[in-house]
Amino acid sequence: MAQHLPFDPPIPMVDLVGQHARIQSELDEALLRASHQAHYIQGPDVAAFAGELSAYLGEGVHTIPCANGTDALQIALMALGLQPGDEVITATFTYVATAEVIALLGLTPVLVDVEPGTFSLDLDQVRAAVTPRTKAIVPVHLYGQGADMDALLALANERGIPVVEDTAQALGARYTLRDGRTLALGTLGTVAARAFFRRKTWVAWATVGRYLPATPRLRNESAWSPTTAKKSSTATTWWAATAAWTRCRPRCFA
């Protein structure tokens, strides 16, 4: 039977109150500023944070805010123009949202096991799972680690299959490719989704998603935007107060 060490009070998994103590007045001021500006959704703080996150992730990265990581995954798949019945390969070991959005869009999730070293897609199993109906591969980068992206991108490029990186749990992780380039996880595939839930690497005041389209076609408003998603009955947007608050977060660790 499991034994629990007698810590009283228990040690929290994440001490957000402790992290925020250093910059509490800055966080409070950001929320007040957003309240006074009265944009509520979108607005200058949302645009500024999208720009700051893009700059942090690397040159040429383009970020589009939406309501949460699940929406980010959904509109990333919608932007690829997949059709009901298309197969999408993803990991058995992930948060439910990854497979959920595939099924929600009428696509067929093809679940592949992970390998023990990275907790991400086992490339031999991905190769075996690819069929002519495979229209996307969704690696899930867990605990700040990446799948074997060299092998995955080689396979995807050879077959012309887009890669949608689920980076909900890996914001801030960098990946060194075999050619020596070190890039942020989530900037290697065709498009990526991120999340800012309370226990994620970059916490937000509310749950927030980031959708990163890598190709010019996907950056085209009509192809990707949350507005397009809205027309398909997915209302997804980002709160101004959340953006204002979240922009301060990196300074907890400065």
Ligand X SMILES: Cc1ncc(COP(=O)(O)O)c(C=O)c1O
Query: Which chain residues interact with ligand X by CB under 6 A?
Result: 68-70, 94-95, 97-98, 140, 166, 168-169, 195, 197, 207, 209
Measured from the CB atom, the residue of 197 and 224 that comes closer to ligand X is 197
The two three-digit tokens of residue 172, written as one number: 């801030």
Measured from the CB atom, the residue of 97 and 244 that comes closer to ligand X is 97
- State how far the Cα of 194 lies from the Cα of 97, in Å rounded to an integer: 12
In angstroms, what is the minimal distance from the CB of 109 to ligand X? 13
In angstroms, what is the minimal distance from the CB of 25 to ligand X? 28
In angstroms, what is the minimal distance from the CB of 29 to ligand X? 26
Q: Smallest Cα–Cα separation from 241: which of 67, 49, 33, 19?
A: 33
In angstroms, what is the minimal distance from the CB of 135 to ligand X? 19
Measured from the CB atom, the residue of 68 and 225 that comes closer to ligand X is 68
Measured from the CB atom, the residue of 23 and 208 that comes closer to ligand X is 208
DSSP state of 220: S
Measured from the CB atom, the residue of 56 and 95 that comes closer to ligand X is 95
In angstroms, what is the minimal distance from the CB of 12 to ligand X? 18
State which residue has the least CB distance to ligand X: 69
Write the CB contacts of 62 (distance below 8 Å, at least 6 apart in sequence).
54, 212, 213, 214, 219
The two three-digit tokens of residue 16, written as one number: 């957000």
In angstroms, what is the minimal distance from the CB of 166 to ligand X? 5
Measured from the CB atom, the residue of 23 and 50 that comes closer to ligand X is 50
DSSP state of 252: G
The two three-digit tokens of residue 110, written as one number: 């093809």
- State how far the Cα of 84 lies from the Cα of 111, in Å rounded to an integer: 17
The two three-digit tokens of residue 253, written as one number: 């660790």
In angstroms, what is the minimal distance from the CB of 254 to ligand X? 25
Residues 228/78, Cβ–Cβ less than 8 Å: yes
Q: Smallest Cα–Cα separation from 149: which of 164, 171, 129?
A: 164
DSSP, collapsed to helix, strand or coil, labels residue 112 as: strand
Measured from the CB atom, the residue of 148 and 166 that comes closer to ligand X is 166
- Residues listed for the chain: 254
Residues 75/234, Cβ–Cβ less than 8 Å: yes
